[in-house]
Amino acid sequence: MSQLTGKGLTYWEITKFLFYLGISVVSMVLPLTILLSSIMTFGDFGERYELAAMKAAGISLVRVMMPLFVTVSLLSVALFFFSNNIIPDFQRKAKNMMFNIISSKPAINFTPGVFIDQISGYSVKFDKIYGEKGEKLEGVFLHKNASPYDDQQTIIAKSGKFAPAVDRNYLKLILYNGYVFTDDISNKSYNERMKQPNQSVRFDSLVNHFDISELINNAIEKEKITDDYRFQTYSEVNETLTKNRKDNNVTLSSIASPIISQTNNYVQYIDKSKTKEKIKEPYKIDTLKKDKKLEILWNAYNKIDALKTSAESNENSIKDTIKQHNKIVMYQQRIISYSFTCIIFFLIGASLGSIIRKGGMGLPVVIAIVIFIIFYVLNLSVENLSWKGAINPYLATWIPNMVLFPFSVWLTYKALTDSQLFDIEKYRALFKPIIEKFSKPKEHQRYQ
């Protein structure tokens, strides 16, 4: 929000942008909604003894749950199509909107009163940014970034404004009532630089064009968390995975080839040593002079250290490759897995509601939040492990469902058999012999 508010964007533009981004949370919100609503619904049935009346009339709990189960199944199918078609499209819209904001309203990246270096080759500070689109400026300071041996230039202006350029890769800045200070010292000796007077030019208006293509590209690069695979359907992600595997093979081969070439001589030496052919030692290191011996050992140490550094660097590259591939796999599988989560959460919610027999917004909300937190923590845990390459990404995506599905079946069985799962008196009677064994018998009040 700090990057959007106060930067010339209207409330409608901010709202629309956040709406585009917020669509992606539907895939997580719908299962939670089904869990909470099913607990509240069946809790109300139980609290008002409607479930007891239905059972007395010969209607089983399965028959009561079946219409809602069919409804939830339809919702899960709808969630699949929504995640497969709608969410990728809105993610694309969000990224395109961010691109347009950056390219047409570069003030979004500027903070008043702070030096920034987002414009390539310049350090910039604006004392005040205002206007309907954040296009008006006050207190402009531009300093050209240059080495001590190149020409130095600083521009100061009382006011200015952004204007649309013909090429959106350029930022057009019109300055009013200011000065241009220049030190012409390039290709001059030290004595000439010392004699070079400062040059200043006063202007009423000055037009500058700054290349912001790098700024736009960097803004897009920073959104790597929403890589192109997030804009694709399930079948399109399959094609991306096929291409990604081919690219990964090329990447890993390029990483392995230098190491193999560097260690090839050693490998050949080891292979030859396994044969009956006797390998002659080039020279005995102990017979060499001290300086020569130290030189050889130092060169060997440097070569091993270089190989070690290269291996560590390659390890990070391999980890990044694995992480990117696993992210794509998990994104694809979650399009389906979250749909099954809806059904699992319904079974858990309906069973818990009929057992606890408590409706409303109190206990059902607490139970729903606890179950959802468990699911969410499992989701994040396996996701992090998969990104590190510790778990197969296909398995990692389905582990939360695999953990909660047996729990939902067990709860459904308990609900069908009218189990007193949350009956405190039942557990008190169960642990009563143990408590009495370790507690002293109390005497009657009149004998104390």
What DSSP letter does each residue of 14-28 carry, written as one string?
HHHHHHHHHGGGHHH
CA distance 243 to 254: 17
Under a CB-based contact definition with an 8 Å cutoff, are residues 133 and 105 in contact? yes
E strands, 184-250, are: 199-211
In a domain, 277, yes or no: yes
Residue-by-residue DSSP string for 274-343 = TSSSPPPPS--GGGS-HHHHHHHHHHHHHHHHHHHHHHHHHHHHHHHHHHHHHHHHHHHHHHHHHHHHHH
Regarding whether 97 and 23 lie in a shared domain, the answer is yes
> What pLDDT score was predicted for residue 225?
41
> What pLDDT score was predicted for residue 242?
83
Q: What is the pLDDT along the chain (448 residues), one digit of tens a residue?
A: 655 655 556 677 778 888 888 888 888 889 989 988 888 888 888 778 887 788 788 888 888 888 889 999 999 999 999 988 888 888 888 877 776 666 555 545 677 888 877 676 788 888 888 887 777 889 999 888 877 667 778 889 999 988 877 776 777 888 999 998 887 777 777 677 676 667 788 888 888 887 776 665 554 444 444 456 778 788 888 888 888 888 877 777 777 666 666 665 555 555 554 555 555 666 676 777 777 778 778 887 887 787 777 777 777 778 888 888 888 888 888 889 999 999 999 998 888 888 877 766 677 788 888 888 999 899 989 888 888 888 888 898 999 999 999 988 888 888 887 766 655 556 566 667 777 777 666 555 555 5
Regarding whether 138 and 84 lie in a shared domain, the answer is no
Between vectors from CA 58 to CA 57 and to CA 64, what angle results, nearest 5°?
A: 95
Among 106, 124, 104, smallest CA distance to 114 is for 124
User: Which amino acid is residue 339, in one-letter code?
Assistant: S
Regarding whether 377 and 407 lie in a shared domain, the answer is yes
In a domain, 111, yes or no: no
Regarding whether 341 and 327 lie in a shared domain, the answer is no
In a domain, 444, yes or no: no
- Total-model pTM: 0.60
Total domain count for the chain? 3
Tokens linked to 93: 């819209």
List of residues 6+ apart from 352 with CB closer than 8 A? 39, 42, 43, 367, 411, 415
Local structure of residue 188 (DSSP, 8 states): -
Long-range contacts, 12-21 (Cβ 8 Å, 24+): 13/101, 16/97, 17/94, 17/97, 17/98, 17/101, 20/90, 20/91, 20/93, 20/94, 20/97, 21/91, 21/94
The DSSP H or E segment spanning 186 is none
CA distance 72 to 65: 10
Which of 333, 360, 387 lies at the terminal end of a domain, its last residue? Answer: 333
Regarding whether 91 and 21 lie in a shared domain, the answer is yes
Regarding whether 130 and 95 lie in a shared domain, the answer is no
Under a CB-based contact definition with an 8 Å cutoff, are residues 144 and 153 in contact? yes
> What pLDDT score was predicted for residue 222?
46
List of residues 6+ apart from 341 with CB closer than 8 A? 31, 375, 400, 401, 404
Which of 269, 303, 333 lies at the terminal end of a domain, its last residue? Answer: 333
Regarding whether 407 and 382 lie in a shared domain, the answer is yes
In a domain, 110, yes or no: no
Regarding whether 203 and 289 lie in a shared domain, the answer is no
Regarding whether 65 and 139 lie in a shared domain, the answer is no
Helix, strand or coil, per DSSP, at residue 137 = strand
In a domain, 225, yes or no: no
Question: Where in the sequence is the domain holding 250, given as residue range(s)?
Answer: 235-333
In a domain, 149, yes or no: yes
In a domain, 412, yes or no: yes
Local structure of residue 228 (DSSP, 8 states): G
> What pLDDT score was predicted for residue 431?
67
In a domain, 45, yes or no: yes
Regarding whether 157 and 142 lie in a shared domain, the answer is yes
Regarding whether 380 and 298 lie in a shared domain, the answer is no
Q: What is the Cα 397 distance to its own chain's centre? A: 16
Regarding whether 324 and 257 lie in a shared domain, the answer is yes
